[in-house]
Amino acid sequence: MAQEVFDANFCAERLKALGDPHRLKIVNALRYGELAVGDIAELLEAEVVTVSHHLKIMKYANLVEVRREGRFMYYRLHEDLQCTKGKGTRLLDLGCCRLEVPDPK
């Protein structure tokens, strides 16, 4: 069995990309499934251009994946991220650490 290697640079880039409240809210929205940019903007009560900016940063950090359908862009959490349900929380496994997000009440 191969031993996993901790890549501090990879981990730091992912954590840096999550270091903004808008991006954490986007992760929270996407943990339930794929959404269009406009839908994310509506959920966050933010401008589409603002959401697009944050999604671009998250895409380059391999946190989200994008799919184009016509003129619409749909985002989902990157397939490498594991989102598991715990007791009253959801754990997002970033590969180097886990982010625990409480379920809405």
pLDDT score recorded for residue 85: 66
Distance CA(92)–CA(83), nearest Å, equals 5
Please write the tens of the pLDDT for every residue from 10-26. 888 889 999 999 999 99
Query: Which domain covers residue 62, as residue numbers?
Result: 8-78
**Length reported for the chain:** 105
Q: 24: domain CATH number?
A: 1.10.10.10
The SS3 of residue 28 is helix
Please write the tens of the pLDDT for every residue from 23-57. 999 998 998 889 999 999 999 999 999 999 999 99
User: 55 with 26: CB under 8 angstroms?
Assistant: yes
Residue 3: which pLDDT band, with cuts at 50, 70 and 90? very low
In a domain, 50, yes or no: yes
In a domain, 46, yes or no: yes
In a domain, 105, yes or no: no
pLDDT score recorded for residue 96: 78
Whole-number average pLDDT of the chain:
85
In a domain, 29, yes or no: yes
Total domains, the chain: 1
Tokens 């809210």 sit on residue: 25
